Amino acid sequence: MNQTEMFDADIRALQQWLREAWQQLGDPSLTAFTRRELRNQMKQCNTELRAHLQRTARQRFEPHREPIPSFTRPRLRILAG
């Protein structure tokens, strides 16, 4: 699994978690404290989701560049003439 596929899997998992959290947030039996904690976790998850989406977009739209070869010293030869 390459890095893009891993980010896609993470994105889907975060989206699913947020969907379930929104449904749970509508539960009238939640206490004010639990509701506040859930909203804080949702904010954190949303931040992570945005970061994953930005990284994925950058990877997809940036052209792939070959790495620049590192500089190596040329082999010196002494020519007798």
Query: How does pLDDT run across 54-77, given as a tens digit for each residue?
Result: 988 887 776 667 777 777 777 777
Place of tokens 């560049």: 65
In angstroms, the CA 38 to CA 49 distance is 16
Sequence-ordered list of residues with C-beta below 8 angstroms from that of 22, at least 6 positions apart, any chain: 42
Q: At 23, which amino acid appears?
A: Q
Q: At 2, which amino acid appears?
A: N
pTM for this structure? Answer: 0.67
Query: How does pLDDT run across 36-48, given as a tens digit for each residue?
Result: 999 999 999 999 9
User: What is the model's pLDDT at position 1?
Assistant: 66
Place of tokens 């998850």: 45
Residue 76 zone, left/alpha/beta (φ > 0; ψ -120 to 50; rest): beta
